[in-house]
Amino acid sequence: MTTSRLYGIIAEFDDPTPLVDAARVMHDRGYRRMEAYSPYPIHQLDEYIEPGPKLPPLVLAGGLLGTATAWAMQFYIAVIDYPTNIGGRPLNSWPSFIVIMFELTILFAALTTFFGVLVLCGFPRPHHPVFEAPRFRDATNNRFFLCVEAEDPQFDREAVADLFSELEPLEVTELAAE
């Protein structure tokens, strides 16, 4: 189709079952650099498509940073920067600091989760080679796509296209790299 550099070969399916079958076949043949596109999460794909980076450790770190920030801020203000005698209580009356420590733990962890997803997904990414696939708009509606990327060490244009054609896709397309 095109002589320019390839991003990969993408196949379109109209049902999740052939998509998962295709992912399994490709995985069995040793392809690892591939990605499925679906209008909702399909957990069966997890077996065949290698996971990306992990979010939970980041979120834990964010939460702990929130706890530490809240304690440090309150300790600094209440003990060092602006000590006030409230009913003779100790300046470092830490039990009353717990509430804000809790709140900032949640706040920092939640913001880390949100921005973590955006960063780990590589967003914002308004343009991507897969958007060029025909009918890819329906990947957010009722179509399912599997793309084997050209960066895969054993990628071979004909072999991948042949494998796909055995899996009864609606269409197989070669995608140009950006």
Partner 1 sequence: MTVEEKQLTSTRRPEPDTGPAVIASGQTFAQVTEQISSTPLLRRRIPGLWFISFALGLIFTFVLLYSATYLLFRGVGILGIEIPVAWAYFITDFVWWIGIGHAGTLISAFLLLLNQSWRSSINRFAEAMTIFAVMCAGMFPLLHLGRPWLFYWILPYPNTMTIQPQFRSPLVWDVFAVSTYFTVSLVFWYLGMIPDLATLRDQAKNKFVAKIYGILAWGWRGASRHWRLHETASLLLAGLATPLVLSVHTVVSFDFTIAIVPGWHSTIFPPYFVAGAIYSGFAMVLVLALPIRHVFHLENLLTERHINNCAKLMLATGLILAYTYAIEPFTAWYSGNEYEMYMVHNRAFGPYAWAFWGVILCNVVVPQLLWFHRFRVRTKPLFAISMVVLYGMWLERYMIIVGSLHRDYLPSAWTNFIHTVWDNAVTFGSIGLFITLFALFVRFLPMISMYEVRELLPFSRPGGGSEK
The span from the CA of 123 to the CA of 129, in Å, is 14
Q: Which among 20, 3, 9 has a CA at the least distance from the CA of 159?
A: 9
Total residues at interface with partner 1 (CB under 8 A): 72
By CB under 8 A, tell whether 26 contacts partner 1: no
Among 28, 141, 153, 166, binds partner 1 (CB under 8 A): 141
Among 61, 65, 100, 161, binds partner 1 (CB under 8 A): 100
Return the structure tokens found at 105.
């733990």
Strands (E), the chain: 6-13, 34-37, 144-149, 171-176
Residue among 9 and 104 whose Cβ is closer to partner 1 = 104
The one segment of 2-10, 50-58, 156-164, 166-174 that binds partner 1 by CB under 8 A: 50-58
Give the nearest distance from C-beta 63 to partner 1 in angstroms: 8
By CB under 8 A, tell whether 107 contacts partner 1: yes
- Spell out the alpha helix ranges (H) of 32-156: 56-75, 98-120
By CB under 8 A, tell whether 64 contacts partner 1: no
Among 1, 64, 72, 86, binds partner 1 (CB under 8 A): 86
By CB under 8 A, tell whether 30 contacts partner 1: no
| CA-to-CA dists, residue 39 to 6, 72, 88, 137, 142, angstroms | 25, 45, 61, 10, 6
Give the nearest distance from C-beta 3 to partner 1 in angstroms: 26
Give the nearest distance from C-beta 5 to partner 1 in angstroms: 20
Rg (CA), the chain: 25
